[in-house]
Structure 1
Amino acid sequence: MKKKQAQEQAKIEKKARSAVREEISGILLLALSVFLMVATLKYKGNPQDQEAIGIIGTYLIMGLEKATGAALPLVPVFLFLWAFHLLVAKRYWSLRMGGLALVSVLFLTFLSIARIPGGMDSLQAAAAGLGGGYLGGTVAYVLVHLLGRIGTYVVLVFGLTLGVIMAIDQPLTAVVTKSGSRVKKWLAALEPLLFYEAEDEVLAKEPAAAPIPVNKEDAAMPGPKDETEYREVAIRIAQPLSQQAFEKKADSRPEDSEYRRPPLELLSPVQAERGFNKNDIKESIKVLEDTFANFGIKVKVNQVSCGPAVTRYELQPAPGVKVSKIIGLADDLQLSLAAPGIRIEAPIPGKSAIGIEVPNERVTRVGLRNLLASPEFQGHESPLAVGLGEDISGNPVILDLAAMPHLLIAGSTGSGKSVCLNCIILSLLYGASPDELRLLLVDPKMVELTVYNGIPHLLAPVITDPKKASVGLRWMVTEMEQRYQKFSETGVRDIYRYNEVSGEQLPFIVIVIDELADLMTIAPVEVEDSICRLAQMARAAGIHLVVATQRPSVDVVTGIIKANIPSRIAFAVSSQSDSRTILDMAGAEKLLGRGDMLVYPVGAPKPFRVQGAFVSDTDIEAVVAFVRQQNLTTPIREEQDIGMDMVMGDVGYQDDLFWDAVKIFLQSQKVSVSLLQRKLRIGYARAARLVDMMEERGIISPPDVNKKRDILIDEEQFARLYSNDNMC
């Protein structure tokens, strides 16, 4: 054992001494190359001139000139490369140095053949100081006598090719491929200089990505690793939207004669610089590519997009790599990046790439003021445009509620649903007057939407009783039916055409339900039926639903509701099953919370990620106070008045058709809302209100277990009640 240790120690000491000798040799060789370089420059061809380089330098240059001829200046270069190899590789000789020596000798041979005058052979030319000196002349003399001039040239060509391959220590195919890619990059870099006008137009539309060099060989390209190769990856850093650039457009929107839209100054500005360390991004790119390489998957990162909450790395896999293999490495990538959670989008819609979304260390807040001041919102033609937030590239996300046409929002508690609802409502207040838009707000939690009480956009005060909410939804169904009746009489198909051809301007109606689960607990059948009827038919009538819930289970978000509400927004949820309930696919369980959402509008191939806008309670109160203090009165039709009484439970209302309705029940001995609708040709809201009034006055009984009512008066009692009412 001791003998073996002694042998190993001796090997280590021998290796250390060898390294020292090689380093000393390299330094001496480097000094010699520098001396020869100076001597070559100072030597004037006169042996007597020894002042600059001395006797040794003079005769050394004279000897090398005889040996190498016209290639004398290349001798110091060769020695310098040899010295560098000794100092770096710690080896006296290698395949690279052998290739370099072979190229040098063949170059001298070529000079000895190509640069000799007629009538002289290579040795005679070498004696005269021509060609490649005695070294090149000797090799040329032997090759020409053995192979002839043509055969010598063939040997030189193949020998030079072999020497180049040995010197670069790489396959020739890899060298050609890399050279082609570098030429393409040079041409791409020259293109803006050659076609600067077209480039300026592109830059005016979209800011150019800032490339960053990555000291990493292209993992998708074949061939050995070249540590000196650099690749450029485009990094797009999303900057916050600037409200100063577009605030003037907010005042240029057509103003209503009475309603004054709230100024943007009521909302707090968000001043947040988004700084990203490009070295960290470069390191993450290297970690990603190395992780895939460890599992035998070749990928390359083409582009990096830095958004307010996450950074997306766009990967392009090598040909033949299955997407499922990349998706299966999600946990390994999360471990390698030390990230709290990652999401893989495979593939990115519209691109032949796969997106790896990694959370940022710090989430940058997105302000609603910036969204509403953006040209995308200010230039939107629809009064139902709503600002949601910024996408993964930092672009504002402005959606048209009229095109969606209904929206389902779901997510766990604290994920950002209520803030999103407030952003939607404030966007509507900034975009539409009460003549253009009316709101029906349902807030069973009684704390989120009650702040909007008193604004002129409301059809009724904010509904907080789930029982009254089901009545309010039935009211909206009746309103939808009445609108379609008007469309039929006018000969139009939708609200847009009706407002053009008729003298009456029907407003859009947006129904906002903050917690669907509470309504489904109290009256599941009535609520589901009303929501489904509205979702199926109300779009053309200008009535739109925004339904939110924090319990995305199948008993709340039923299959019928999902089938009729095509547009959805998913916030962070606790399980993959909840995500599938909302989006019909996984992904929401990977979200970060605090406004991080997946938006899936109707017609989109896949949901896309958005960082939701933030609006504070102070901002909401300021906007509501501004709208409320205008004291606008909006005309209310009779049907709306009756519906409002139904919702709010007003018992002091007396309908002109009340006694006619009582008489119909007495004659038929049947209590039915639909019977009144047919006989009196009225809507559901008015007929149901008549039935409630009869119950309040004791004419009919409350519904029993089977929802049947009995008539409590006869013909004589009816005559007496009718007479007393007329006398009053």
Structure 2
Amino acid sequence: MFTKLKLRGQLIRAFKNAEVYKSYKRGDRTVHQYPRIHHIDNTDAYTRYSFSLINGINPKVFDDKLWAIKQVLGSNVEVNGKLKNFSITVHKKSMPKLVKYNYEDFKPEIERMELPVVVGKDIYGNYISWDMAELETLLVSGEIGAGKSSLLRAILSTLIKSKSPDEIRLVLADLKRADLGLFHGVEHVDSLSFEAKEMIKPFTKLRAEMYRRGDLLLEHGVTHIKGLPFKLPRIVTVVDEMSIIKKERDLVELIEQIASQGRALGVHLVIAMQRPDADLLKSALKSNLRVRISGRQADATNAKVAGVPGAHEIDAGARGRMMIKIDDIQTFQGVFLDEEECKRMIAPFKKDVPIKSAQTEQLVESIFGEEW
């Protein structure tokens, strides 16, 4: 009982420090009304406080004042909830400092997924993973050194190793000319573009394929490719540093179309940006980005634009430390996959495809044939 009272007092101090209360006058005194605490769960691994906000308290206070909560409760803190009902979890363990990519380690966890994505481990050593067939769009952002490049390598390597070219096709755009060139020649890859002008041909073909798939759904009277009497491959589109093409409205609109219509058609989207672009993400993309991952952001504004409030508070010295938002926001240590290891892993899946020039696209014949 004494421990619970002590923990309750700490939470009240955290609320006071973050100004999570309503004030009113009682005579000559100003009284603070704090959130209603429902339950305190104290284990060897964590302490979790469940509570509800008083009417009139803006729930976004936790986005702006998480630092004040951490000043009282400690740095390993996560806040989850919406509107009125929230929980604060104070972890007693430390996040792993390095999570090396090990396909065999997480293989049993992803075997039943159609499009497995594995991005790292949480504070308890559990893998953070999901099926992109169900959560079809992803935004990855963060400052230089946040771990985006390693994460993209890991995501693509997992898809390539776990699925055959008949099951998945990849359409890649590496506008930074930095990371995705490693996947040149991989038999799953239909195109690899390095400039906006190089994206026009493969992305126009992609749009045509989306229309074709839409017609097939209508013809067979189904609402998803899963309902078709034959199997179509999933198509995963990756655009690294999309902000470079923000003025290319035709391309941006096509990418928005993938985000909004792709799920039923089996077309999926991964967007990466160093600095989240407010203009791009205020467009039709915003409501259709199902999963958001952020490394450290420069400030609270960038973190908010990225859709991962609190990302600006990630320790600058914690390389690979990230936050993910699906329903709630969770901190994790991103998987580390360096270039040489990535090359070794995907070498068995490469074909002998010559690079015509440093600025050319790779457009291999897809399983749909030359007309795709």
What's the counterpart of residue 556 of structure 1? 280
Tell me how far apart the structure 1 counterparts of residues 218 and 78 of structure 2 sit (CA, whole Å).
Answer: 50
Contact 1:371 1:387 in 2 (8 A): no
TM-score of the aligned structures, taking structure 1 as reference length: 0.41
Which of the numbers 196, 200, 220 marks the counterpart of 2:5? 220
Which of the numbers 392, 397, 410 marks the counterpart of 2:123? 392
CA-to-aligned-CA distance 1:332-371 (integer Å, 9 cap, x gap): 665568x7x564415599x9742235894x7432232167
CA-to-aligned-CA distance 1:220-259 (integer Å, 9 cap, x gap): 17xxxxxxxxxxxxxxxxxxxxxxxxxxxxxxxxxxxxxx
Tell me how far apart the structure 1 counterparts of residues 16 and 195 of structure 2 sit (CA, whole Å).
Answer: 59
Are 2:332 and 1:610 equivalent residues in the alignment? yes
Contact 2:139 2:289 in 1 (8 A): yes
Are 2:233 and 1:507 equivalent residues in the alignment? yes
Tell me how far apart the structure 2 counterparts of residues 515 and 318 of structure 1 sit (CA, whole Å).
Answer: 40
Are 2:312 and 1:589 equivalent residues in the alignment? yes
What's the counterpart of residue 109 of structure 2? 376
Question: Equivalent residue of 2:161, what SS?
Answer: helix
Displacement after TM superposition at 1:588 (Å): 1.6
Contact 1:287 1:336 in 2 (8 A): no
The one-letter amino acid of 1:535's match is: A
What's the counterpart of residue 88 of structure 2? 354
Tell me how far apart the structure 2 counterparts of residues 556 and 391 of structure 1 sit (CA, whole Å).
Answer: 30
Greater share of residues in helix: 1
Range with greater deviation from structure 2 (286-295 or 552-561): 286-295
The one-letter amino acid of 2:314's match is: L
Displacement after TM superposition at 1:452 (Å): 0.7
Question: Equivalent residue of 2:265, what SS?
Answer: coil
Which of the numbers 82, 93, 99 marks the counterpart of 1:366? 99
Tell me how far apart the structure 2 counterparts of residues 363 and 286 of structure 1 sit (CA, whole Å).
Answer: 29
What's the counterpart of residue 487 of structure 1? 217
What's the counterpart of residue 598 of structure 1? 323
Displacement after TM superposition at 1:318 (Å): 12
What's the counterpart of residue 246 of structure 1? none
Are 2:350 and 1:628 equivalent residues in the alignment? yes
The one-letter amino acid of 1:515's match is: E
Tell me how far apart the structure 1 counterparts of residues 15 and 285 of structure 2 sit (CA, whole Å).
Answer: 46
Question: Where does structure 1 lack aligned partners over 5 or more consecutive residues?
Answer: 1-177, 179-216, 222-284, 306-311, 641-728
Provide the aligned C-alpha RMSD in A. Answer: 3.8
Q: Structure 1 residues 637, 356: CA separation in 2 closer, same or farther (over 3 Å shift)?
A: same
The one-letter amino acid of 2:340's match is: T
Are 2:179 and 1:455 equivalent residues in the alignment? no
Q: Structure 1 residues 332, 400: CA separation in 2 closer, same or farther (over 3 Å shift)?
A: closer
Which of the numbers 137, 153, 159 marks the counterpart of 1:422? 153
Displacement after TM superposition at 1:290 (Å): 11
The one-letter amino acid of 1:589's match is: H
Tell me how far apart the structure 2 counterparts of residues 388 and 399 of structure 1 sit (CA, whole Å).
Answer: 9
Are 2:260 and 1:527 equivalent residues in the alignment? no
Tell me how far apart the structure 2 counterparts of residues 329 and 485 of structure 1 sit (CA, whole Å).
Answer: 50
Q: Structure 1 residues 533, 331: CA separation in 2 closer, same or farther (over 3 Å shift)?
A: closer
What's the counterpart of residue 371 of structure 2? 639
CA-to-aligned-CA distance 1:381-439 (integer Å, 9 cap, x gap): 42x11111122332222211111112122222211111111111011012110011110
TM-score of the aligned structures, taking structure 2 as reference length: 0.76
Are 2:202 and 1:477 equivalent residues in the alignment? no
Question: Where does structure 2 lack aligned partners over 5 or more consecutive residues?
Answer: 18-31, 354-363
Contact 2:80 2:86 in 1 (8 A): no
Tell me how far apart the structure 2 counterparts of residues 560 and 576 of structure 1 sit (CA, whole Å).
Answer: 23
The aligned length equals 337
The one-letter amino acid of 2:285's match is: I
Greater share of residues in strand: 2
Tell me how far apart the structure 1 counterparts of residues 163 and 332 of structure 2 sit (CA, whole Å).
Answer: 24
Tell me how far apart the structure 2 counterparts of residues 289 and 634 of structure 1 sit (CA, whole Å).
Answer: 58
Question: Equivalent residue of 1:459, what SS?
Answer: strand
Displacement after TM superposition at 1:459 (Å): 0.9
CA-to-aligned-CA distance 1:42-92 (integer Å, 9 cap, x gap): xxxxxxxxxxxxxxxxxxxxxxxxxxxxxxxxxxxxxxxxxxxxxxxxxxx
